[in-house]
Structure 1
Amino acid sequence: MNLAQACTWRRSPVKPELSLCHSSCRKGQRRSARICSRGRSSCRNPHKLSDCHLSVGCVSESHQRVGVRHSQVVTSGKGAATEVSYIADDGEPVTVDFGRVDADRVVRGRPVRIPVSRAGQRNYSGLYWSSTTRAHLVYESLLERDRLLLADFCPAVAWMAAQPFWMRGYDGSTFRRHVPDLLLQHRNGAFTVVDVKPERMMKKPKVIDVLKWTDRVCRERGWQYEVWSGTDPTELSNVRFLSLAKRSRFVDRAASERVSAVTADGMTIDQILMTSQDGGVVTRSAAMTALLEQLWLSRWATDLRIPLSGTSAITVGVAAA
């Protein structure tokens, strides 16, 4: 995988009574916050917005809180604006028309949905530590974790968020609600909304309809949209191996300086490691970690389309996009 491949992206009246409720799992009584569209009168466990930082509720004055100055309105049917709800970094729930949403604030906000683990579930959810945000991001499946890994590796991505917002609106006569998996902010100022779906899900008409609606609404807003179902397993395995050095604080700085000093364009990994160890200044493991860090940060490059090995040639002086 070269740098260009790593960074290529594929391409209402809203229900007025939205309230927060908890749904309890029978086993272990684990709770996950979610949006309840039935209204407070039918919610068994209503609570205040201040009681939960995992969900988004309607805020009547949220337009003023965001301080929006845009006049663009994104519509999805029946002449009504599509609505987006998110949680700002300070914990403030915000609801605003999609065309007026503050993208910078959304991408640095909190997830609107936290995946929970339960016995017998088919997917594996968890936390991914991102070297881009220097924090953990939630994922709902291993496929979603893989997409987070590639976004974290891409130098064109300046920031990213998982489970970033709820979007609600009409698609013709059908009312839709959806939470995209990722929101990526690029260094050139662009934004990409990502939905991660396995190939088997792409055969379901209901899923396709939601994705088409999301694509149309995002592009009307001026955002890019991507549906991701996986990539070449060799490339993914190589990037996963490089990620071993993504935590820079664990990289030996002396080894990093030594490796950088002895490396020349076209040298193989084995040649770099052997030269770095001359004089017993650094160990092989420390030199390897330092080399992987240079590749992870895209300062150096190698062909990720074939399995990494000691014969892999290194290109130095690669400028980050």
Structure 2
Amino acid sequence: MAVHSMSRVGDEGEVPSASIRYVDDSVRTVPFSVLRLADFADSVPWRQFRSVRGQRHYSGTYMSATTAGPVVHESRLELARLLLADFDPAVRGIYGQPCRLMARIGDRVRRHVPDFLLVMRSGTARVVIAKSADRLGEPKVSEALAWPGELVERCGWEYEVWSGADPVVLANVRFLAAYRRPGVVPEEDVRAAWQSVRDGDELAVAERRLAGGRPAHEVRPALMALLWSGRLVTDLSRPISGDSVLRRCA
């Protein structure tokens, strides 16, 4: 499947492009060959939607710690990928429904709105499309996913079709996300926890030392906040428990 390069200027789709919507409701269409991350400054999601009773899709907004603002999603699968992106220290920016891609494929003009654009600390970008694994084998779905990948990778960006993660890892990250926002745990509690915890502590041991005779549940949020921030790490392939081993990373 080939994404056509420019042949007839002005013909829709002949120049592969990204259309971006901005806060003033204007739309700018940029040839993908010259698209830059700066083009997304002051942009808003391509589609506007709202949650209504009885709808089939699980749409909404997620308050991201990475962006310090809301990011849209339209399914539980998208929300799961969004959680993992927010938790990932390699990600420094997240755009939901960042643009509409358009290109001529054969004799047809094709359009697609990616689910996310992740801005990586390495300086590159990653276009993410979330699609359930049971649909990846459908010919129409495979075709719809192939041409955006060719377009994105041709321009030096990364492309990801995401269908899920280890359910234990995802459950742990979902749990830790409750502690992601500044102010949820008082900063002085987080500082005290950081000063108290030792590299290699089991979680239960770290809690007892920090609690100093108080109930352990009173100090647990500070340790969870440190795990969310990445200053502490543990094996997330196992459910977080009292015997989870903590490692200091900063």
| TM-score, structure 1 normalization | 0.71
Are residue 82 (structure 1) and residue 16 (structure 2) matched? yes
Q: What residue number does 1:222 align with?
A: 156
Match of 2:201 in 1: 267
Cα deviation 1:202-254 (Å, max 9, x = unaligned):
12211211110000000111110000000110000011111111012121223
Which letter maps to 1:98? F
CA contact (8 A) 2:6 2:16 kept: no
Distance 1:210 1:293 in 2: 40
Q: Deviations over 1:25-74 (max 9, x none)?
A: xxxxxxxxxxxxxxxxxxxxxxxxxxxxxxxxxxxxxxxxxxxxxxxxx9
TM-score, normalised via structure 2 length:
0.91
Distance 1:75 1:229, change over 3 A: closer
Does residue 161 of structure 2 align to residue 233 of structure 1? no
Percent identity of the aligned residues? 36
* TM-fit CA distance, 1:119: 4.3
Q: Identify the residue that residue 255 of structure 1 maps to in structure 2.
A: 189
Instruction: Summarize deviations over 1:90-110 as a string: whole Å, max 9, x none.
Output: 554211211122323326521
- Structure 1 pair 222/184, CA: closer, same or farther in 2 (3 Å)? same
Whether the aligned pair in 2 keeps the contact of 1:266 and 1:313 (CA below 8 Å) is: yes
Determine the structure 1 residue equivalent to 2:227: 295
Larger Rg: 1
SS of 1:248's partner is: coil
2:34 is aligned with 1:97: no
Does the Cα contact within 8 Å between 1:196 and 1:228 map onto a contact in 2?
yes
Shift of 1:121: 2.9
Alignment of 1:31-110 (within 5 A): 76=4, 79=7, 80-89=14-23, 91-106=25-40, 109-110=43-44
| Structure 2 residues not aligned, in runs of 5+ | 8-13
Query: For 1:151-175, what per-residue CA distance to the aligned partner results, in whole angstroms no more than 9, with x for missing partners?
Result: 0000010101000000111112221
Say yes or no: does 1:309 pair with 2:241: yes
Question: Structure 2: how far apart are the matches of 1:78 and 1:209?
Answer: 21
Q: What is the letter of the counterpart of residue 122 of structure 2?
A: N
**What amino acid is aligned across from residue 4 of structure 2 in structure 1?**
S
Give 5+ residue unaligned stretches, structure 1: 1-73
Q: Which residue is equivalent to 2:10?
A: none
Structure 2 residue aligned with 1:207: 141
Tell me, yes or no, if structure 1 residue 138 matches structure 2 residue 45.
no
Question: What's the C-alpha RMSD, in Å, of the aligned pairs?
Answer: 1.9
Task: Give the Cα–Cα distance (whole angstroms) in 2 for the partners of residues 287 and 126 of structure 1.
Answer: 32
Q: Distance in 1 between matches of 2:4 and 2:134?
A: 27
CA distance in 2, matches of 1:104, 1:116: 28
Alignment check: 8 A CA contact 2:97 2:114 kept: yes
Q: Secondary structure in 1 aligned to 2:169?
A: helix
**What is the aligned partner in structure 1 of residue 11 from structure 2?**
none
Change (3 A) 1:159 1:90: farther
Q: Find the residue that maps to 2:122 and give its secondary structure.
A: coil
Please give the alpha-carbon distance, in whole angstroms, between the structure 2 residues aligned to 1:211 and 1:75. 12
Shift of 1:314: 0.3
CA distance in 1, matches of 2:153, 2:166: 27
Secondary structure at the aligned position of 1:250 is classed as coil
What is the aligned partner in structure 2 of residue 129 from structure 1?
63
